[in-house]
Structure 1
């Protein structure tokens, strides 16, 4: 290789690296008030548990082999770290039981405040759960006289395995947990885990009580004596998903549940000894009745009390998905505390106990089974669960499930998105709520909920795509958003978190209004509205003041310049659970993927595409139509790309010509060298050659091929994907209903994507114009200049003659000469290694 070509290649390679780094920096740059990355935590990772001290603003974080304390009032201060790892003998014992080295660490899964100000800390401790006490004043774990950490068993308080579903809540200094209670993870308990030994009770070991549950959340509801003169007991609610025993189907049906126990329950005297006597559970139903879609897997629950002094204002926001959907799906439903208690006070479900499917219901004894203590029961002499009759306890043991379900319609439905965490803040005007949703790709989505209508406001990329959000904690108008490796602090309340006029207008129902500056409507800030929103479509009226063609139901037409034969996905953001429909040219090359539309571009498919979704209207039985997206498909002209594309093509052609002549020179050299060696070999004695060893001289040594890299990224489009072996250009807007950014960036990004598709039809699988080594050299240079990292391969297959004369003339002599040739050629940079392979990506198929 000549020095100029080497210099060109090195410069191009450096330019590609710099471009990739800068692009990654732009995409990963957080839109947050403050960010703490992995470098700030000094090697500590795997954050799974957050505990916030509201008075001081100190955030305690449970990690692998460590506990951290972060001052949320000043994130620039270095976090405090306590190491709590596992001794080597415990690790060896854990690995001897068949666990991996990664699992044999101490993952902190529980952080709870005690009444004396200390923090109760529990970790998996190499599959032998242990608990300790943390002194907040000195920020250190309490130790024994010998200097070792003062520990007590964590069985029943903390899971054995780091990834097991688990939840816990502290009530009056007593810990209540829902976790596995054995090493194998096959026994599940909801228990009172601390307190006096005689009062530590748990659920009955019966599939009627708990059947392979996945615990999600727990909440303690404390009754106020002034508002509840009947003297009702405090209650604890546990949310989980379990396998339904009441449904007999060919497969296991998962069902979301809510279970309730009473704080003063201490078990029965004879029946249900040291077992809950007040355990009741009911099914949660999150269903869109018009479409019949039901979401049956609960993934997260957020408890919100509108009035801190009134427990009746408590609502539980549940994050759901579906067991039956193959595509990513998320829904949000809200359940009120009063609705849950009403179901708990209703009829009991009779489960099958004989060969018959159903039996006659048993009469409900008095006092009512599962009822919490109140003033009336105490007046009758039942001041403790130990005094309940056996017939009441027997009925409770056999009837833990309620007949009725707690039903709710979804507030939000999103397809193609996996939500992992949920937090909710109320609007300042009290008329709506703002949902903060964390995704499995490090994004934070904000959704406004006003009445029956929801509006997607923002989709904020906070973290890299490989960091799922697993914690959201609200504190003084801020949201502390965490992943297993990072922490971000963002504004979570107030109109000031809406950065543009369009986003502020979409939050009109939350009491926000855009206050323009003298420079124009787009210059200004979002603040509280001076007047309450009126009747009608207030968002539509607010958007008209932004000098934008966008509207909540009147999206601007976006022109997409495409190439014939391109297959693309037109996005339509669906926030309502009701269906969406597309109006498009009459041709058969379309396919709807839920709310999105897949289009194969042809002459007949050019034209206008409009997506219309159904939303809740004034009457829930008569939904209204709302246009969500509009596109105009136009064929890309031959001059698209301009001078830059032309210059790039000229350089590419010059490199191909250079490689062609270089290949001719190398081929001539190889032909001359082989001819000389063959002439020498023909004069050797015949008995020195073996015809059998000359038949397979150079075996194939194909290197693994890497898939093509992703096309150019942008804020408005996701990566290209493959379906059924065909490249798919997926257009996913990060705006949502028009989104916060009013620019029309669809056209330019689609040109970039379509150019990659059209200019690289085989994605690196085209015909080999040149032979062997020069082909790889040319493809390396061409791919670098063209900005592609297509699949590359190297073949070491040699030319093999079939005649006996050639076999006799070659043999081992030629094999030795070829090995010598390879050693000589290995000295050149061009032949030292194959073309660089793109980073291998895991296929989703």
Structure 2
């Protein structure tokens, strides 16, 4: 009995070391680092990032705390300031109907001030407050009574932790877009700091803001060299609101960009303490050939294509669709010049009349909504206070522009929800090559996509956090990406050809100036690619001998009755189609294809996607994946489904280590009781093998048949993962394969949980297809019978039925041995109370 236990004690640390080495290899190749709850001392709900570009110090706003992390030395413990809410304020917040979790201080604003301090604002139990943080000592300023020196944060910070909000600092003055009341029904875009008489906001009118969801903001400062007209600096706000110009039966959401001018101080009589330069326009991200429009804006990244030139500013927008039920994400880019042209164009007439035709009001002079410049000042309009009332009345009634800012999507992904976006430009100012999109998902992953011309190529999909941690922040600093979730922070390499470790991935980055060398490494090159498809030529130099649009056919050996999912990566907004045998049972999931294997469905399956070719706008077909389905040899061992990602393997090993640790503990405990009461209870020699102690509280899932030589010959549930959860649809198996374009699919086997009818990926990772588990699950069923009530007994009915067959083969001696062990375990205090649920059962509830 002790030999197996000793072997387990030796095997356990070895497996854990292998798991740690695998994880380190995945994320530590280029000095990447991940900080989790352990390093942050269980501080959570990180929502705000502020980076000092000169020193590399990153400030994090969290729940009841502000932290500082030196990104150059991420292994050092972070500094922390606790800024919580007194108990009486929390009780008052709960008494007003708010939840106890929301009645804390969630830091939503961190901005640098010019005097070496940081302006910090938090929700403070639905009573927003702001404080000043001394960067040198990393402490909050104190008041005379010794407490934190605070000032009201209303209009500067949202009341609720989950409310949409954005803010930007422009010349030491704070501009915000947030809710301005406790109920969250009033919305303002305002100048929140500065002299009291210059603190202005939007008009309380649905024509100005209609139930907006604020997303991002940007300050565009005009440079003296490129501003001959003396135009004013501008602040841009991006949000999604309910459109009032569309009179439909349902609320139509539209993405907007709004602009205000820095020197605006409101009107003298009309629009007092209100913006006189507030104009807004619709953003249209639409694929015209298919007519698909993406109308909900989720994130915006601002960058200058030519560093130091504000006129080269581009806004990369991340969109989703209100009209599609499935997950979909799209990326469109808008230039500052296009936005300026729309803001200088005609105004939309929003007035309602009984006539079908109305005459728009004539536009007065000077033009309403324009920023002050040298020409206006020469005419005597040195301030917005001197503007005529007819100009202010017109801009009050016409905040919306007639034309829209339109763009075609650079990237469309179905079945994936992107949450954050960052962009790095490649090449030089004289010879730009393209851009790399760093996209965070709602499942804790970071995707990299190369955009060269009109073509997008998926390069990498990197799992960073657990599937329950969405990416909510991405900052770029000195060639690295700082990626955050509500619980963790990752620092990973973001630039350079060294990111791409294989010839295939390096070939797909050929348009970015990368080439695979004879030394077996991806290096930058200044050589221009030859004529034709540059990625296709680069791929042919790799061992796979296939091009980007000419993938090799992958043979998949399957069995009849099997249901599988053939992956095909779609990046273009154009649809993907499949060529397949005429007699088939298929169903398309986004760009992937579900196939039920029959005699007639065997053959070649080819996925072709439409995308834009180099220098042309007409879509061209590109073959993305090809498969050959053939029946497996009955005499062979069959195909083996392997997990497509290291994170899946790591989870398997983690649960296996936990099961081994529990087994070692139980075996040692039983042996000790045996040595104390050797004459009281004896188990027969043939009662249990050395495997009997493993996972005594086994899962309630039906184990696999021991006679099955192939994992693919079994029927499992086809599970579609949405937002970190698994939803069972129908009994099937997922096959994994490496899709063309660098997209990796995991072939995790999903087992059904009979207790609730829903499959769960964490639950599945606890199951093992070995025949020994049947024996231990019978033991678990016998032990739990009569102790946990009808619910547990019902959950184990399937296991008990299989147990009857095994008991008949083991004989009476084994039955007596199990009876003895049951009596032995029944005497333990831990089994006198209702039996605890195993990890598998806990994760499936």
Q: Equivalences for 1:155-304 in 2 at 5 Å?
A: 155-304=154-303
The 3 A distance-change label for structure 1 pair 268 and 630 is same
Corresponding residue for residue 570 of structure 2: 574
| Equivalent position to 1:481, from 483, 501, 507 | 483
In 1, the alpha carbon distance for the partners of 2:108 and 2:701 equals 39
Q: Equivalences for 1:711-722 in 2 at 5 Å?
A: 720-721=719-720
Contact 2:37–2:487 (8 Å) recurs in 1: yes
In 1, the alpha carbon distance for the partners of 2:415 and 2:597 equals 23
Q: Deviations over 1:58-93 (max 9, x none)?
A: 111111111111111111211111111111111111
Contact 1:194–1:200 (8 Å) recurs in 2: yes
Corresponding residue for residue 739 of structure 1: 742
Corresponding residue for residue 69 of structure 1: 68
Corresponding residue for residue 505 of structure 1: 507
In 1, the alpha carbon distance for the partners of 2:157 and 2:497 equals 40
The 3 A distance-change label for structure 1 pair 138 and 273 is same
Corresponding residue for residue 627 of structure 1: 623
Q: Greater Rg, structure 1 or structure 2?
A: 1
Corresponding residue for residue 56 of structure 1: 55
| Equivalent position to 1:454, from 453, 456, 461 | 456
The 3 A distance-change label for structure 1 pair 77 and 763 is closer
Q: Secondary structure at the match of 1:457?
A: strand
Contact 1:707–1:840 (8 Å) recurs in 2: no
The 3 A distance-change label for structure 1 pair 205 and 13 is farther
Q: Equivalences for 1:75-474 in 2 at 5 Å?
A: 75-356=74-355, 359-429=358-428, 430-474=432-476
Contact 1:28–1:464 (8 Å) recurs in 2: no
Q: Deviations over 1:606-626 (max 9, x none)?
A: 111110011102464422111
The 3 A distance-change label for structure 1 pair 11 and 247 is farther
Deviation at residue 43 of structure 1 after TM alignment: 1.8
In 1, the alpha carbon distance for the partners of 2:609 and 2:639 equals 42
Q: Secondary structure at the match of 2:733?
A: strand
Deviation at residue 488 of structure 1 after TM alignment: 1.0
In 2, the alpha carbon distance for the partners of 1:585 and 1:9 equals 54
Contact 1:47–1:61 (8 Å) recurs in 2: yes
Deviation at residue 115 of structure 1 after TM alignment: 1.3
Runs (5+) with no aligned partner, structure 1? 518-523, 646-702, 765-775, 785-790, 799-822
Greater CA drift, 355-364 or 211-220: 355-364
Paired residues, what number?
721
In 2, the alpha carbon distance for the partners of 1:328 and 1:420 equals 12
Corresponding residue for residue 608 of structure 1: 604
| Equivalent position to 1:544, from 540, 543, 550 | 540
Q: Deviations over 1:530-552 (max 9, x none)?
A: 31233420111111112223421
The 3 A distance-change label for structure 1 pair 514 and 621 is closer
Corresponding residue for residue 34 of structure 1: 33
The 3 A distance-change label for structure 1 pair 395 and 707 is farther
The 3 A distance-change label for structure 1 pair 604 and 157 is same
Greater CA drift, 620-629 or 473-482: 620-629
In 2, the alpha carbon distance for the partners of 1:109 and 1:36 equals 21
The 3 A distance-change label for structure 1 pair 361 and 69 is same
In 2, the alpha carbon distance for the partners of 1:339 and 1:644 equals 54
User: Is the counterpart of residue 780 in structure 1 residue 777 in structure 2?
Assistant: yes
In 2, the alpha carbon distance for the partners of 1:239 and 1:753 equals 43
Corresponding residue for residue 528 of structure 1: 524
In 2, the alpha carbon distance for the partners of 1:718 and 1:392 equals 65
Deviation at residue 827 of structure 1 after TM alignment: 3.5
Deviation at residue 428 of structure 1 after TM alignment: 2.5
Deviation at residue 629 of structure 1 after TM alignment: 0.7
In 1, the alpha carbon distance for the partners of 2:795 and 2:404 equals 68
Deviation at residue 639 of structure 1 after TM alignment: 3.9
Contact 2:497–2:523 (8 Å) recurs in 1: yes
The 3 A distance-change label for structure 1 pair 216 and 39 is same
Runs (5+) with no aligned partner, structure 2? 642-696, 705-709, 721-725, 760-772, 782-789, 798-821
Q: Secondary structure at the match of 1:726?
A: strand
The 3 A distance-change label for structure 1 pair 707 and 260 is farther
| Normalised TM-score (structure 2) | 0.79
The 3 A distance-change label for structure 1 pair 555 and 718 is farther
In 2, the alpha carbon distance for the partners of 1:73 and 1:542 equals 35
Q: Deviations over 1:673-718 (max 9, x none)?
A: xxxxxxxxxxxxxxxxxxxxxxxxxxxxxx9x977899999xxx99
Contact 2:329–2:417 (8 Å) recurs in 1: yes
In 1, the alpha carbon distance for the partners of 2:610 and 2:53 equals 42
Corresponding residue for residue 681 of structure 2: none
| Normalised TM-score (structure 1) | 0.79
Aligned residues: CA RMSD: 3.8
In 1, the alpha carbon distance for the partners of 2:7 and 2:98 equals 49
Contact 1:793–1:834 (8 Å) recurs in 2: no
Corresponding residue for residue 767 of structure 1: none
Corresponding residue for residue 667 of structure 1: none
